[in-house]
């Protein structure tokens, strides 16, 4: 367990007045804990930065300007969404005989995993683990050796053992794994040959092809009587055919009626 000493001041600016401290380069915060009264404090931004930038968990030895000293941990910190600067922090006082819950970073050791050498991809799923322990047993970080981790293999929470520390995460949750490489398959485009219907054969008529303009005139009108041959001339009958019958004689004219006698 690492321990860092931080000097802070008890602040008198509370509520909306606390934002004036940020103009001076200070960050307002609060110290609280079990059976401890809340103490509003302020820490210079440069002094606060190592507390949240470090990858190790540890105890903060807080020394206030009123002469008091408190053991605590950094419980929470808020950042400005635009400038990404810290705007407020919470310090939680600890009791050396009382277990506390906090998050501890996960550190992978062992170099390049065997599965990665074989072409796999390393996936670091959980970067921090929530644990419960006494202040004196807080680990700086939790080490996981991944040297022999093969493809399609993973290390779960249940596989991690830390002396005097209880891991509060789901036992079946994977912390780190090596997965096979993702091979993008090019979709095979099925080329379907278009079925072309066979063209209808062209009908070639016998005889002379009618010239343009005569084709429509040659066909008789639908449902109409056939036209008489030009000039009223009768067609010559074919050889061997009987001659047409002579037209019947016209009836004789009727005799004039006899004149009545006077």
pLDDT tens for each residue of 69-92 = 999 998 889 998 998 889 999 999
pLDDT (tens digit per residue) in 6-41: 999 998 877 777 777 888 889 999 999 877 789 999
- Asked whether the whole model's pTM tops 0.75, one would answer no
Just give the CATH number of 2-95. Answer: 2.40.240.10
Residues 156 and 173: beta-carbon distance below 8 Å = yes
Per-domain residue ranges for the chain?
A: 2-95, 101-179
| pLDDT over threshold 80, residue 194 | no
Q: Which CATH architecture has domain 101-179?
A: Beta Complex (2.170)
What b/e readout covers 183-198, taking b as 16+ CB neighbours within 10 angstroms?
A: eeeeeeeeeeeeeeee
């Amino acid at each position: 367990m690492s321990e860092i000493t931080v000097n802070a001041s008890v602040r008198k600016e509370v509520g909306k007045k606390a934002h004036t401290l940020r103009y001076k380069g200070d960050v307002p915060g609060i110290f609280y804990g079990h059976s401890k009264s809340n103490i509003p404090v302020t820490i210079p931004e440069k002094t606060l930065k190592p507390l949240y930038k470090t990858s190790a968990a540890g105890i903060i030895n807080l020394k206030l300007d009123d002469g008091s000293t408190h053991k605590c941990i950094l419980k929470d910190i808020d950042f400005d969404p635009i400038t990404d600067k810290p705007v407020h922090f919470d310090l939680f006082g600890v009791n050396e005989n009382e277990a506390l819950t906090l998050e501890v970073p996960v550190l992978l050791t062992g170099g390049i995993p065997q599965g990665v050498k074989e072409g796999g991809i390393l996936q670091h799923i959980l970067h921090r683990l929530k644990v419960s322990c006494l202040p004196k047993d807080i680990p700086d970080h939790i080490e996981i050796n991944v040297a022999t981790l093969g493809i399609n293999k993973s290390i779960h929470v249940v596989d991690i053992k830390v002396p005097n520390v209880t891991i509060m995460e789901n036992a079946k949750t994977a912390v780190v794994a090596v997965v096979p490489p993702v091979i993008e398959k090019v979709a095979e485009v099925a080329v379907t040959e278009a079925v072309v219907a066979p063209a209808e054969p062209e009908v070639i008529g016998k005889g002379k092809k009618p010239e343009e303009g005569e084709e429509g005139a040659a066909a008789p009108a639908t449902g109409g009587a056939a036209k008489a041959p030009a000039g009223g001339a009768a067609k010559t009958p074919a050889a061997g055919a009987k001659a047409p019958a002579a037209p019947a004689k016209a009836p004789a004219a009727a005799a004039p009626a006899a004149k009545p006698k006077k």
